[in-house]
A and B are shown apart, each in its own frame.
Chain A
Amino acid sequence: MKLIKFPPPILCLIPAITLIPVLGQIFSEIHVGGLEVLGEFFYAAVHPSFNPLVLQSSFQGLQVTVATALLSWSISISIGLFLGFISSSVFWKCFCAQEWQSTAIKNSLAIPRSIHELIWGLLLLQLFGTSPLVAIIAICIPYSCLVAKVIGNQLDSLDQKPLIALRQGGGGTFSSIITTLLPPLIPKIKSYGGYRLECALRGATLLGVFGMGGIGTEMQLTLQSLEFREMWTSIWMLGGVMLALETMLNYLRREQNTKKKIEKFTAQFIGILALSIGIALLWLQRIDINLFSGFSFHPIILPTFEELTNAIYELEWATLISQTILITVLASGIAIGVPVIGLMMFPSKTSVSLQRISWAFLRLIPPPLSLLLLLLCTNPSLSVAALTLGLHHLGVMGRLLKEGISDQINHNYLAIYSLGTGRRLAWLYGCLSPQSRSYLAYAAYRADVILRETVVVGIVGGVGLGWQLQESLSSYAWAEVALVTTAYTTVTLVGEYISDNGRKYWMSPQASKHSSQLI
Chain B
Amino acid sequence: MINKISRRFFLSSLLLIPSLIIGTEVITSEDVLVIGAIPDQNPEHLNRLYKMLSNELEKSLNIRVKYLPVTSYPAAVSAFRTGNLDLVWFGGLTGVQARIQTPGSKVIAQRDIDIRFRSVFIANTKSKIPVLQNQNDLKKLKGKRFTFGSESSTSGRLMPQYFLQEAGIKTTDFKGARPGFSGSHDATIALVQSGSYEAGALNKQVWQSNIKRGRVNKIKVKVIWETPTYADYHWLAQGSLDQRFGSGFTKRLQETLLGMNQYSKNQKQILEMFGAKRFISANNNQYTNIERIGRQLGKIR
Tell me the residues in window 1-34 of chain B with beta carbons closer than 8 Å to chain A beta carbons. Answer: 2-3, 5-7, 9-10, 13-14, 16-17, 20-21, 23-24, 26-28
> Closest residue to A285 on the B side, CB-wise?
B24
Interface string of B190-213 (1 = CB under 8 A from A): 110111110000000000000000
| Residues in A whose Cβ lies below 8 Å from that of B16 | 274-275, 278
Bound-state CA distance A226–B178 (Å) is 24
B244: min CB distance to chain A, Å:
15
Within 8 A of A (CB), among B52-94: 68-75, 77-79, 81-85
- Could you tell me which residues of chain A, from 457 to 494, have a CB within 8 Å of some CB in chain B? 459-463, 467, 470-471, 473-477
Interface string of B272-283 (1 = CB under 8 A from A): 000000000000
Are B178 and A375 in touch, CB under 8 angstroms? no
**Contact partners of A227 in chain B: CB under 8 A:** 42, 44
Per-residue interface assignment for chain A, residues 273 to 302, with 1 indicating a CB less than 8 Å from any chain B CB and 0 otherwise? 011011001101100001111101010000
B2 touches A37 (CB 8 A): no
Q: A209-B72, A476-B101 are in contact. Are A459 and B20 (CB under 8 A)?
A: no
Report the minimum CB–CB distance from B262 to chain A (whole Å). 24
CA distance A381 to B197 in the complex (A): 11
Whether the pair A221, B24 counts as a contact (CB closer than 8 A) is no
In the assembled complex, the Cα of A131 lies from the Cα of B26 at a distance in Å of 12
* Cross-chain contact of B194 among A37, A230, A461, A470 (Cβ < 8 A): A37
Residues A459 and B190 in contact in the complex (CB < 8 Å), given A57-B43, A217-B69, A474-B74: no
With beta carbons under 8 angstroms apart, the residue of B6, B7, B42, B299 that contacts A475 is B299
Cβ–Cβ contact B184 & A224, under 8 A = yes
A interface secondary structure, majority: helix
Is A210's beta carbon under 8 Å from chain B? yes
Contact B186 A33 (CB under 8 A): no
Chain A residues whose CB sits within 8 angstroms of the CB of B41 once the complex forms: 221, 225
A258 to B: closest C-beta gap in Å? 15
Give Cα distance in the complex from A230 to B24, angstroms: 33
B152 within 8 A of A: yes
Q: Which residue of A lies closest to B126 (CB)?
A: A33
Would you call B155 an interface residue if the criterion is a C-beta within 8 Å of the partner chain's C-beta atoms? Answer: no
Tell me the count of chain B residues lying within 8 A, CB to CB, of chain A. 79
Is A142 among interface residues, defined by CB-CB distance under 8 A?
no
Q: A-B contact count, CB below 8 Å?
A: 228
Between-chain CB contacts (< 8 Å), 18 pairs: A31-B196, A33-B196, A122-B72, A128-B82, A130-B85, A223-B183, A224-B40, A224-B150, A226-B186, A261-B2, A270-B10, A270-B14, A271-B13, A375-B194, A376-B196, A380-B147, A459-B180, A462-B180
Binding site for B on A (CB under 8 A): 31, 33-34, 36-37, 51, 53-54, 57, 122, 125-126, 128-131, 208-211, 213, 216-218, 220-227, 230, 261, 263-264, 267-268, 270-271, 274-275, 277-278, 281-282, 284-285, 290-294, 296, 298, 368, 372, 375-381, 459-463, 467, 470-471, 473-477
Apart from A209-B75, A293-B27, A379-B145, list 19 A-B contacts with CB within 8 A. A34-B195, A34-B196, A128-B82, A130-B82, A130-B84, A211-B84, A217-B71, A221-B42, A224-B183, A224-B186, A263-B2, A271-B10, A281-B23, A292-B24, A292-B26, A380-B196, A463-B178, A471-B151, A474-B152
Interface residues of B (CB under 8 A from A): 2-3, 5-7, 9-10, 13-14, 16-17, 20-21, 23-24, 26-28, 36, 39-48, 68-75, 77-79, 81-85, 97, 101, 124, 126, 145, 147, 150-152, 171, 176, 178-184, 186-187, 190-191, 193-197, 215, 217, 220, 298-301
